[in-house]
């Protein structure tokens, strides 16, 4: 995967880094073929936790984590409708990262898998009708 971290300011030059991605799942992996065919896999609660670890190559056979792991129960995975080449992963109250696979098929496979796991694990989305701000819910009622 290729990754770009961007924060509040776009004035700084962003650096694209190639990283190795590891998806760690506690429990049984969901049906990947169903995800690739854009079908919903059978809902099973066999996945108890999942994390995405990004590892960069420091050269000379040394590797280091790019950052702390993304725990998918605390992440939002989204994509821009205009660009199917990239997707964004954001951990709650942290800077977002833009990710891109080696080809569009690889990108869509990662997107489907990460989106499915983050949706099924995120208990915080079940509160307040999954709205990010409680004031939005109050305003919509008036």
106 against 142, higher pLDDT: 106
- Which residues lie below 8 Å from residue 12, measured CB to CB, with a gap of 6+? none
User: What six digits make up the tokens of 66?
Assistant: 């790019």
Burial tier of 69 (Cβ tally within 10 Å: 0-12, 13-18, 19+): middle
pLDDT at 52: 92
Alpha helices in the chain (DSSP H): 32-36, 104-121, 134-141
* Confidence grade of residue 55 (pLDDT, cut at 50, 70, 90): very high
**pTM, whole model, 2 decimals?**
0.72
For 125, the 3-state DSSP assignment is: helix
CA distance linking residue 45 with residue 41, whole number of Å:
12
pLDDT at 42: 52
């Amino acid at each position: 995967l290729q990754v770009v971290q961007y924060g509040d300011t776009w004035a700084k030059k962003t650096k694209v880094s190639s990283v190795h991605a590891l998806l760690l799942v506690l429990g049984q992996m969901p049906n990947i073929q169903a995800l690739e065919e854009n079908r919903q896999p059978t809902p099973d609660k066999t996945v108890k936790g999942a994390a995405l670890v990004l590892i960069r190559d420091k050269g000379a056979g040394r590797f280091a984590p790019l950052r702390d792991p993304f725990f998918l129960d605390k992440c939002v995975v989204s994509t821009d409708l205009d660009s199917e080449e990239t997707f964004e992963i954001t951990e709650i109250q942290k800077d977002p990262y833009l990710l891109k696979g080696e080809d569009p098929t690889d990108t869509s496979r990662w997107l489907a898998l990460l989106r499915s796991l983050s949706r099924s694990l995120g208990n915080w989305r079940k509160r307040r009708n999954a709205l990010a701000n409680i004031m939005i819910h109050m305003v919509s009622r008036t």
